Structure 1
């Protein structure tokens, strides 16, 4: 049922309506859990499914991915001729909310079941925020209906095609000491001849190259900086626990904590810019929220496919593992 060259099954559990498996990725050792479910048609029995999944969810403290035919829609708009929330829909929404799961948008169609007269979206994948953070390019896609009244859907962990990356000014650069003065000095040093518009364009192009080089060689990657500082802080705190309270250790710890605060502030500014959530006041370090919004923007802005008459061209790779629901 899975490619053993990609994931390793560690443990599994079988319920009345679902099968769950704890996996470990072969390439990076990352552990996560998957739950495959088939929902009953009766509302009373479906509530038992939510209770079962909630209980299984508590088995392992790892990122989760759930998928299956739940035999219920999340919203009235996902079912033809249905315009009001039902009790069963409210139970489903409550289940998603209480487990803090993400209902990813469906690419390639609005529904997953049709008998030719009616349609609804009964099948879906739900993922935890930590699972989505590990695969930020995840997308949920509907395939062609063949022999069943259900459309197959699959979860592609590398589904968003990345084209050429255009240069963007990063607001976090402004937190670097002497940044404005450095840019001003660069700008003054550029010498070009021609029309004013040509000189301006040439200066901007030269500035872009200097900023990219400075960002790579001097400013550095925020994640790497944070990891290095956290490791050093942990090491210094270990020395303190051993009774090593030398002045140089305490001074170094203060420096590391100050640098870590600066890096965390830069990280917050970076994700705030990517998410475009400018309504939050400065100091609200909701980095996880910014991750979600930025990833959501990327999914919404991505072009998954183009249609030319009856021909559809997809722009997605499947180099990473993906799950399919039939």
Structure 2
């Protein structure tokens, strides 16, 4: 499943979704943008789960689905930037949970808020501390877990690369984590790594194990999630390199180059 924010589109159709996703066995829900601002799109393989209904309010788009005999609510979130808008979003989310059938919860997207002192770099202030405390209180009240990033520390940087933050995140209920494939993933990696028998020098053994583990993970990914190979490894590597430069204080990339990367990543570049 893919959760996209800031689509900046008012119209979606099957032709566009099929081209974006790569095949026609796909379902989706969308929230149109307001002019050139906002817009949400959630896309998934049709056989991934059974959908009950979709819902939307200011700042989020969601679906209620049945997956592995469990009711799950999946939210695609795009939070406002101002504190008043954030507070309304947090209140609306908690209100939705309190007034719907119990289930497991998955909230993903751009929350425009931080949870720890180390998440923003290049920006400090009392307002940030107060907002951070309120956001942490919301996470606790919603009874979800803030899933840490693997490898990368930040998800956003400003145009000159001075301020970098982690604004995007996934918040999952403990039941979702236990029922889902997150714990299964670690068990799979551990078992696969232990079963790989390779002889040679230590550096060679590690290199070959990593190579074969990656191959096994691709198969596991298709079997568990049914996600097609979009051949995005190279683009992810390039985007990660840009982020590394920014995080280490180098000058921000040229905006036109950044746009080219994004277009190529989404398959929108025809060249």
TM-score range, shorter chain: 0.5 to 0.7
TM-score with structure 1 setting the length: 0.44
TM-score, length-normalised on structure 2? 0.53
User: For the Cα contact (< 8 Å) 1:33–1:65, is it kept in 2?
Assistant: yes
Give the aligned partner of residue 32 of structure 1: 72
SS in 1 for 2:45: coil
Q: How does 1:94-173 map to 2 (within 5 A)?
A: 94-115=137-158, 116-135=161-180, 137=182, 158=185, 161-163=189-191
C-alpha deviations, 1:162-199, integer Å up to 9, x for none? 33597xxxxxxxxxxxxxxxxxxxxxxxxxxxxxxxxx
Please report how far the alpha carbon of residue 322 of structure 1 lies from its aligned counterpart in structure 2 after TM superposition.
Answer: 8.7
Structure 2 stretches of 5 or more lacking a match? 1-42, 195-205, 228-265, 267-271
Q: How far apart are residue 75 of structure 1 and its match?
A: 1.2
Q: Number of residues paired by the alignment?
A: 162
- Deviation beyond 3 Å, 4+ runs, structure 1: 82-85, 157-160, 313-317
Q: Residue 40 of structure 1: CA displacement?
A: 0.5
1:158 counterpart SS class: helix
Map 1:201-216; keep pairs closer than 5 Å.
Answer: none
Q: Aligned residue for 2:130?
A: 87
Corresponding residue number in structure 2 for 1:279? none
CA RMSD of superposed structures (Å): 3.0
Contact 2:48 2:226 in 1 (8 A): no
Structure 1 counterpart of 2:97, from 41, 46, 57 = 57
User: Any stretches of 5+ residues in structure 1 without a counterpart?
Assistant: 139-156, 167-305
Shift of 1:81: 2.7
2:104 paired with 1:41: no
Alignment of 1:1-326 (within 5 A): 1-25=43-67, 28-58=68-98, 59-82=100-123, 86-115=129-158, 116-135=161-180, 137=182, 158=185, 161-163=189-191, 314=214, 316=217, 317-318=220-221, 319-321=223-225
CA distance in 1, matches of 2:93, 2:168: 16
For 1:82 and 1:75, the matched residues in 2 are separated by 13
Greater Rg by CA:
1
